[in-house]
Structure 1
């Protein structure tokens, strides 16, 4: 059982600061500093409320704030646990997935599960605007975040000459640039989904686990499609984040029928 050190007196006596906010801030600091590591259980609520000298109602407000901030997970009948840290999948940059996460200071590695020239499914051919009998490079990758499987990524690439290129440590966009192909823009749709049996096995989670599914089409300077990419992203390891400005990112929401 993890013991929570006595809260600092100044953190609980700041003027006009609600007690639950002060408790949430104190626990958040301990989580971020590693005193309460990911996956560890917080002491029972009665013990915590006694430690902080507050009612259970006040403590529960603090725990709810921490859960809203993604720092803890409250599990009925089990207790409250420190959540695993999440990286952000940004929608406001045109970079490869691993490159984007590394720019945030995340440790990302890639396992190549398959890399060969294949005939794509009809719906992928339609996305790429090619003949249904055309052959493209099928690239299947598993992205690991801090050594843990986080994303299954399946890409269909028109440039079949990349079939022999080692893409385990090289961004696909960088590999294309090395061949003189310039990435101009991308169209991406992100929707909620669940893991199917195959993807669940690869990501080490039960089938039916909630996930984000990203479909992205990348275009060149001539506005012709270059790559169709489908990424299945574990929602408990990554969150989607974007920044908006008056003339910045444009987002559209569509109703799922």
Structure 2
């Protein structure tokens, strides 16, 4: 009983991986999803020395859903669906919507080995900034099949809005990230502190 509890604790801490029917193994170090850089996901992971490959699941011009159209302000956008694999294992499902005309220009571009940001830059579209919301969720059935996981598995979901130099949204992106494969990390510094004086009367 004590051994079982110890193994469960080590698994909870991410140090062990228990695989039914196979045994208990030392867990591989998790890749890091960094919040303090403005790079494409694959670029970020390769910079950590990870082996990353991308499968393109869809790349077509179409009408975006209402919540995406509200950001992009257009009724036509490039829908880019990708599966990111770490060392050959599915780790991230990514669905990106790119505003026209940049989206139309990228419709036939091979984005399996090229960063979306780099491809946009090649068409004269410069990424200026991005806002991102990261939240925990449970994996839904359609994406669970793509990630080869059971529905209900805990994941991180990232919604990122990327802006150009004109401060208009150019990419709306939703990434579903397996928490068993990646961890989220950021660094903070005591800089950029703002103060405001108010009257005490």
Q: Which residue of 1 aligns with 2:80?
A: 139
| Aligned with 2:31 (options 87, 95, 99) | 87
- Structure 1 segments of 4 or more deviating over 3 A? 66-69, 78-81
| Aligned with 1:125 (options 69, 90, 93) | 69
5 Å matches for 1:11-50?
A: 45=3
Q: CA deviation at 1:70?
A: 2.6
Q: CA deviation at 1:205?
A: 0.3
CA distance in 1, matches of 2:13, 2:47: 22
Alignment of 1:228 with 2:169, yes or no, is: no
Q: CA deviation at 1:221?
A: 0.7
Q: Which residue of 2 aligns with 1:156?
A: 97
Q: CA deviation at 1:67?
A: 5.0
Higher relative contact order (CA 8 A, sep 6+): 2
- Report the aligned-residue RMSD: 2.4
CA distance in 2, matches of 1:85, 1:241: 14
Q: For 1:165-205, what per-residue CA distance to the aligned partner results, in whole angstroms no more than 9, with x for missing partners?
A: 00000000000111111100000000001111110000000
Q: For 1:37-79, what per-residue CA distance to the aligned partner results, in whole angstroms no more than 9, with x for missing partners?
A: xxxxxxx949xxxxxxxxxx9xx4x985x5575322579xx98
TM-score by length of 1: 0.67
Alignment of 1:193 with 2:137, yes or no, is: yes
**3-state DSSP of counterpart to 2:39:** coil
CA distance in 1, matches of 2:29, 2:141: 25
Aligned residue pairs total 186
**3-state DSSP of counterpart to 1:120:** coil
**3-state DSSP of counterpart to 2:157:** strand
Q: Which residue of 1 aligns with 2:44?
A: 100
Q: CA deviation at 1:83?
A: 2.0
Q: Which residue of 2 aligns with 1:115?
A: 59
Runs (5+) with no aligned partner, structure 2:
193-201
Alignment of 1:217 with 2:161, yes or no, is: yes
Larger Rg: 1
Structure with the larger strand share: 2
| Aligned with 2:188 (options 210, 229, 244) | 244
Q: For 1:100-151, what per-residue CA distance to the aligned partner results, in whole angstroms no more than 9, with x for missing partners?
A: 00000000000000000010000111122x14xx100000000000100000
CA distance in 2, matches of 1:67, 1:206: 18
Runs (5+) with no aligned partner, structure 1:
1-43, 47-56, 249-257
